[in-house]
Amino acid sequence: TREIFIAPSILAADFARLGEEIAAIDKAGADWIHCDVMDGHFVPNISYGADVIKAIRPLTKKVFDVHLMIAPADPYLEAFAKAGADVITVHAEAGVHLDRSLQAVRALGKQAGVSLCPATPEHAIEYVLDRIDLVLVMTVNPGFGGQSFLESQLAKIGRIRTMIGNRPIRLEVDGGITRDNAAAVAAAGADTLVAGSAVFRGNSSADYAGNIAAIRIA
């Protein structure tokens, strides 16, 4: 069985105390740190950029999993690589030259991920499977934390698990993940679970270790 990684999304953190929040989720057992970058163009919200990631990078040794919800992405890949991203995920819908974007990420020495919005079929990744280290299935429409999980994506997760075969590609899910649906997404084939609200406000509790553990145990 695959080891499940939990990747708290710091979009749900208290930005006024971001450094302390990073230290807290590190100590609480986060496997990866998920960073949501939004440009107000590809998605209808603006979050933070490479300078913020660079500022928090020294605070933990954990993998920085950078989810770029920006279009175009290519002009900014180097900045995120230099800021300390380990995984850089671009959206299949963010540009017409996905293959080129993924090559660019690997040329920067980083792991390359591709993300699919809920309405994008799994076929979008068919011809880039040998260029990627991660597939990110959005289980909400990207742009905001705290939305409800879209059940329609469970079938897509299963189909992508089959497409991956025995390639060393992680299958990540992002959006509306809770202790209540974690088992279903893992059973469908996901091995990396992003969680924002469920970690930082899980069952309205600030017990980050308890919230991460509850997802992992589920």
Phi, psi of 116 (to 5 degrees): -120, 130
Q: Which residues 46-85 are close enough to bind ligand DX5 by CB under 6 A?
A: 67
* 14 belongs to the catalytic site: no
Catalytic residue among 31, 36, 65, 191: 36
Binding test (CB under 5 A) with Zn ion, winner from 31, 65, 133, 174: 174
Q: Is 9 within any annotated ligand binding site?
A: yes
Q: CB under 6 A: which stretch of 20-28, 91-99, 154-162, 169-177 binds ligand DX5?
A: 169-177
Binding test (CB under 5 A) with Zn ion, winner from 31, 36, 133, 191: 36
Residue 181 C-beta: closest distance to ligand DX5, Å? 11
Q: Check residue 67 for interaction with Zn ion (CB under 5 A).
A: yes
Q: Is 91 within any annotated ligand binding site?
A: no
Residue 2 C-beta: closest distance to ligand DX5, Å? 21
Residue 23 C-beta: closest distance to ligand DX5, Å? 19
For ligand DX5, the closer of residues 9 and 111 by Cβ is 9
Relative to beta strand 5-8, strand 63-69 is unpaired
Number of residues located near Zn ion, criterion CB under 5 A = 3
For ligand DX5, the closer of residues 174 and 191 by Cβ is 174
* 174 belongs to the catalytic site: yes
Print the SS3 string covering the chain.
CCCCEEEEEHHHCCHHHHHHHHHHHHHCCCCEEEEEEEECCCCCCECCCHHHHHHHHHHCCCEEEEEEECCCCHHHHHHHHHHCCCEEEEEHHHCCCHHHHHHHHHHCCCEEEEEECCCCCHHHHHHHHHHCCEEEEECCCCCCCCCCCCCCHHHHHHHHHHHHCCCCCEEEEECCCCCCCHHHHHHHCCCEEEECHHHHCHHHCCCHHHHHHHHHHC
For ligand DX5, the closer of residues 113 and 145 by Cβ is 145
Residue whose C-beta lies closest to ligand DX5: 196
Binding test (CB under 6 A) with ligand DX5, winner from 89, 181, 197, 211: 197
> What's the burial of 148, exposed, middle or buried (CB within 10 Å: 0-12/13-18/19+)?
exposed
Q: Check residue 44 for interaction with ligand DX5 (CB under 6 A).
A: no
Residue 105's nearest CA partner among 68, 142, 59, 58 is 68
Catalytic residue among 31, 65, 133, 174: 174
The residues that touch Zn ion, with contacts defined as CB under 5 A, are 36, 67, 174
Catalytic residues: 36, 174
